[in-house]
Amino acid sequence: MIKALQLVFSPFNAWMKLTAEQRSVSFILFFSLMPLVILCVGIEAYSLMRWGEKRGDLGLLVKVSQPVAIRYAAAHISLFVACVFLGAFGLQAVAQSFNLSATFRQAFTAIAYGTTPIVLGRLLDAVPVMNTWVCWGIGVMLSLSVLYHGVALTLRPDQTKGFGLYIVSLMIVLLVTGVAHFTALAVLHEKIFR
C-alpha cells in the first residue's frame, strides 16, 4: 500500500525504485498487487454490509447481505487480476508491434503498478454516499500520471514511440477496468451470479 501511495504522490521517484528492483511477475502479483486489492475491496465489502449502498433516485441507503457482498468482493478481485493480466498481454503485444523488445514482466509491471490508483479508489467507494463511477474515475485520473512515468521507465521506448505507447496503455486500462467494474456492479446488484 505504501508503494501505491508513493506512485500517486511521487510517481517518478517510485518508478525509479520499482524499475531498479526488477521484481518477477509472481512477486508483484502476490506481494504487491493482491494484498492491496484484497484490503481495499475487503474494506468496501465491509462498508456495504455495515452501512449500505446509495441506490435509486432518492439516494436511499440499502444494506447489502453478507453473501452478496462476498460474491461482489470475489468477483471484483478476480476481475481485477484478470484485467491486469489481459492488460499486460495487450501492452506487450502493442509494444512489440512498435518494434520494442518488451518482455511480459515489463508490461505486467507497468500495468500492475499503473492501475494501483484504481484499486485505491475502492477505499473512496467505501463511503456510502460516493458514486461508484466517480470513485473509479478518480482512480483512472490518478492512473494517467502513474502510467505516464511507468510506461516510459519500464518499457523504455524511443521518444517518438513513447507517447503513442502511453496512449495505448491508457486505452487498455480504461477499457479493461471499466468493463470489470461494470461486471462487478452487476454481481452486486444481483443481475448476474444470483
Q: 3-class DSSP state for residue 64?
A: coil
Q: Residue type for 86, please?
A: L
Residue 129: per-residue pLDDT: 84
For all residues of the chain together, what is the average pLDDT?
92
The whole-angstrom separation of Cα 24 and Cα 31 is 10
- Which pLDDT score is estimated for 54? 80
| Residue 64: alpha-carbon gap to chain centroid | 24
pTM, two decimal places: 0.91
* Whole-angstrom distance, CA of residue 175 vs CA of residue 96: 20
Q: How confident is the model at residue 40 (pLDDT cuts 50, 70, 90)?
A: very high
Kindly indicate the confidence band of residue 25, based on its pLDDT and cuts at 50, 70 and 90: very high
Average pLDDT for 160-165: 89
Please report, as a single letter, which amino acid is at residue 133. Answer: W
Amino acid identity, position 167: I
